[in-house]
Amino acid sequence: MTKPQASSMIFYLTIVCLLVGVSGAQKGPKSVQKWFRKLPHAKEKQTQLHFYFHDQVGGINPTVVAVAYANSTFGSPTMFGLVMVVDDQLTVGPDPSSKIVGRAQGIMNYASMQEMGMLMTINFVFTGGKYNGSTLSVVGYNPIQRKYREMAVVGGSGVFRLARGVATAETAAFDAKSGNAIVEYNVMVLHY
């Protein structure tokens, strides 16, 4: 393809994308919702989930690993600036040897200079039962020293297509020496 042909093709594709975008914008999100509800499988459902999240910071096989920090992070009482990657197991009970239902995978970073608080961007990846292969995406501020915390469910896949809802967290156990924690999660999610 010559340079003028390539330029013409890019111009043509840009116009097509703009026209599709304009026509879609005129219909708006309500028409998309109506279209989706007409599908046979597309009835909105509400699901409640309960599981335990196992943070292993110390020990032989940590599931939380620091990947970045500022020079001042470890002098900060709130660990401000610490960024970690997480791949924690999710279980049906607080005992780490209880049945595994999935993994919590994502990024947690200490984002507050006033309290021990993390910005969490986590995917709950389910690996068994009727939710096998499905995910929930959770984003929010997690002030870990508070008893009760709440984060938004902002999406999902598989069984949890078009998910929205809330995930609440409560620390079930914490070992100050190792930094390991077990966190109880209750999730209420609306999905199709």
Read off the pLDDT band of 84 (50, 70, 90): very high
157 by DSSP, 3-state: which? strand
Give φ, ψ of 5 to 5 degrees. Answer: -65, -40
The structure tokens listed for 100 are 């595994």
Tens-place pLDDT, residues 89-124:
999 999 999 999 999 999 999 999 999 999 999 999
The structure tokens listed for 83 are 């960024």
Residue 12 burial (CB count, 10 A): 10
Residue 186's nearest CA partner among 75, 19, 38, 172 is 172
Q: What is the pLDDT of residue 41?
A: 60
Q: What is the pLDDT of residue 129?
A: 85
Q: What is the pLDDT of residue 59?
A: 83
DSSP character for 111?
Answer: -
- Alpha-carbon distance 98 to 172, whole Å? 15
Longest dimension (CA), the chain: 66
